Structure 1
Amino acid sequence: PGLVKPSQTLSLTCTVTGDSISSGYAWIWIRQPPGKGLEWLGVGYYGESSWNTNYGSSIQGRISITADSSKNQFSLQLSSATSEDTAVYYCATGTVKQKSYPRRTVTTVSSLQP
């Protein structure tokens, strides 16, 4: 997932260890573009046995956060990628106690040079 071409869909998956993804925690995606601050992308969580999501306004319409409880994973899909999506992407979890296990992956959106 290190290189995504413009207009493609950026897809990242985070595998949860130590907790069940359906345990009630919030499962979060954040990114940090080069030289910039952190940007909250969205969150997913199980409530009353259904998967719920809330997305950041800057990427509304391009983002999807999904979960696979059988694999204990949650994923980020960001469609129509541009160079503005180049960033370090973090998956994390949080509760009211701010429990957090950040992991990161660097993703660059770049067209291939001749």
Structure 2
Amino acid sequence: MLLYGLLVIISCEKLLFVLDYCCNLIVLNHLTLFVPCFSAVRGQSLTSSDSVVKKPGESVTLSCTGSGFSVGSSYMHWIRQKPGKGLEWIGRIDDGTGTVFAQSLQGQFSITKDSNKNMLYLEVKSLKPEDTAVYYCARQSQ
């Protein structure tokens, strides 16, 4: 989660996300309130890919594996936290293939999922030093 010279370091941490009762991702007029809970219910969890180090201008695809629920039939979100900053909502994919992104981030990110592998992906294109962050995947509560 630190910047060294011209390298962009993206740290993906394991996030256990309470699915139905404790946590909600609320998006109102492009303002985001994210209330995290670090426990899982009924064996449902999300596990992000390992940390990576990339150079500016390169692209990277981060992955997130769901357990105990279907990623394919869920609204899935990506959120990031830059060093010393608050959480920033990147975007989401619905229970099909429709995506919505934060207005300021459109064009740089792509969200896809593979229902057969129960995986969610975030592609970050043309990395910039300011993309250094912890990236979280989250399932929208029902």
Return the offset for 1:95. 2.3
Q: Deviations over 1:13-65 (max 9, x none)?
A: 00010101122x2111000000011100000122xxx3111011121111100
Which residue is equivalent to 2:62?
A: 12
Structure 2 counterpart of 1:95, which letter?
Answer: S
Which residue is equivalent to 1:112?
A: none
Q: Deviations over 1:56-77 (max 9, x none)?
A: 1121111100011110001000
Structure 2 counterpart of 1:70, which letter?
Answer: N
TM-score between the two structures when normalised by the length of structure 1:
0.76
SS in 2 for 1:58: helix
Return the offset for 1:2. 1.9
SS in 2 for 1:51: coil
Runs (5+) with no aligned partner, structure 2: 1-50
> Superposed, which structure 2 residues align to 1:1-114 within 5 Å?
1-23=51-73, 25-46=74-95, 50-96=96-142
TM-score between the two structures when normalised by the length of structure 2:
0.62
SS in 1 for 2:67: coil
| Percent identical residues | 46
Equivalent residue pairs, number: 92
Q: Which has the higher strand share?
A: 1
- Asked if 1 retains the 8 angstrom alpha-carbon contact of 2:92 and 2:100, the reply is yes
Runs (5+) with no aligned partner, structure 1: 97-114
Structure 2 counterpart of 1:12, which letter?
Answer: L
Within 2, Cα distance between the matches of 1:94 and 1:17? 14
